[in-house]
A and B are shown apart, each in its own frame.
Chain A
Amino acid sequence: MTYTPNPPSVSQAMLRSIGLASMEELFADVPADVILNQPLNIGEAHSEIALRRHLQEMANKNINVDQFPCFLGAGAYDHYIPAVVEQMLWRSEFYTAYTPYQPELSQGILQAIFEYQTLICNLTGMDVSNASLYDAGTALAEACHVACEASRRSKIVVAGTVNPQYTHVLTSYSISGNTEIVTVAAPDGTADLDRMLKEIDKQTAAVIIQQPNFYGHLEDNIKILEQAVHKQKGLLIMCVDPISLAVLKSPAEWGADIVVGEGQSLGNNLSFGGPYLGFMASTKKYIRKLPGRIVGETVDLEGRRAFVLTLQAREQHIRREQALSNICSNQALNALTASIYLCSIGARGLRAIANRCHQLAVYARDEFLNKGLSMKYELPFFREFAVKVDNPAQMNKMLLENGIIGGYELEDSLLLAFTEKRTRAEIDKLAALLGGYNHD
Chain B
Amino acid sequence: MTKLIFEKSVPGSNAFFLPPVDIPSVDLSATIPQDFLRQDELTLPDVSEVEVVRHFTELSHRSFGVDDGLYPLGSCTMKYNPKINEWAARLPGFASLHPYQPESTVQGALELMYNTDKMLCEITGMDRYTLQPAAGAHGEMTGVMIIKAYHQDRQDSKRTKMLVPDSAHGTNPATANVVGFEVVEIKSDEEGLVDLGDLRSKMNDEVAGLMLTNPNTLGLFETNIMEIAAIVHEGGGLLYYDGANLNGMIGVARPGDMGFDVVHLNLHKTFGTPHGGGGPGSGPVGVKSFLAPFLPVPLVEKKEEAYYFDYDRPQSLGRVKDFYGNFGVILKAYAYILALGGEGLRSACEHAVLNANYIRHHLRGVYHIPFDRICKHEFIASSQYQMEESHISTLDVAKRLIDYGYHPPTIYFPLIVKEAMMIEPTETESQARLDDFIKALKDIAREAQENSELIKTAPRTTPVNRLDEVGAARKPKVKWEAAQ
Contacts and interface: CB of A to CB of B under 8 A. Distances in A.
B278 A42 contact: no
Which 4 residue pairs spanning A and B have beta carbons closest together? Answer: A59-B93, A273-B323, A172-B318, A61-B108
B16 A346 contact: yes
B467 A104 contact: yes
Interface string A69-106: 01010111010001010111011111111111011111
Contacts, number: 688
Given A5-B428, A18-B357, A273-B323, A380 B32 contact: yes
Interface string A301-317: 11011101011110111
Interface in B231-283: 249, 251-254, 257-258, 272, 274-282
B55 A343 contact: yes
A347 B251 CA distance: 52
Contacts of A331: 134, 276, 279-280
B36 A249 contact: yes
A168 B149 CA distance: 16
A298 B473 CA distance: 9
Interface stretch (B79-87, B198-206, B447-455): B79-87
Nearest to A305: B1
A36 B171 contact: no
Interface stretch (A198-206, A288-296, A430-438): A288-296
A1 B82 contact: yes
B60 A93 contact: yes
Contacts of A135: 134, 321-323
A212 B14 CA distance: 28
A63 B42 contact: no
Contacts of B477: 296-298
Contacts of B39: 249, 253
Contacts of B76: 98
Interface string B32-70: 110111111011111101001101111111111111100
A82 B46 CA distance: 16
A84 B341 CA distance: 36
Given A45-B341, A326-B141, A295 B327 contact: no
A122 B44 CA distance: 7
Given A108-B62, A121-B479, A129-B478, A298 B346 contact: no
21 contacts: A34-B253, A40-B343, A54-B338, A58-B111, A88-B56, A106-B62, A111-B62, A114-B479, A127-B479, A169-B318, A176-B180, A245-B38, A252-B40, A272-B324, A296-B473, A317-B169, A317-B413, A334-B279, A343-B55, A350-B42, A352-B16
Contacts of A275: 134, 279-280, 282, 326-329
Given A40-B345, A317-B171, 17 more contacts: A20-B357, A40-B342, A41-B122, A55-B88, A78-B96, A95-B276, A168-B319, A171-B318, A246-B42, A249-B35, A271-B327, A274-B324, A316-B171, A331-B279, A340-B56, A350-B44, A423-B21
Nearest to A340: B56
Given A109-B278, A271-B95, A332-B279, A3 B82 contact: yes
Interface string B436-459: 000000000000000000000001
Interface residues of A, number: 206
Interface stretch (A230-238, A356-364, A368-376): A356-364
Given A14-B354, A62-B108, A273-B323, A46 B341 contact: yes
A440 interface: no
A238 B112 CA distance: 36
B230 interface: no
Nearest to A275: B280
Q: Which of B63, B322, B335, B342 has the most CB of A within 10 A?
A: B322
A319 B81 CA distance: 31
A166 interface: yes
Contacts of A117: 478-479
B476 A61 contact: no
Interface in B128-170: 134-138, 140-141, 145, 148-149, 152, 164, 169-170
B431 A10 contact: yes
B94 to A, nearest CB: 5
A45 B135 contact: no
B17 interface: yes
A104 B399 contact: yes
Contact of A34 (B42, B89, B258, B357): B258
A44 B250 CA distance: 16
A419 to B, nearest CB: 11
B296 to A, nearest CB: 7
B465 interface: yes
A99 B275 contact: yes
Nearest to A92: B67
A134 interface: yes
Contacts of A100: 63, 277-278
B420 to A, nearest CB: 13
Nearest to A417: B98
Nearest to A287: B476
B105 interface: yes
B429 A5 contact: yes
Contacts of A348: 14, 16, 46
B18 A420 contact: yes
A136 to B, nearest CB: 6
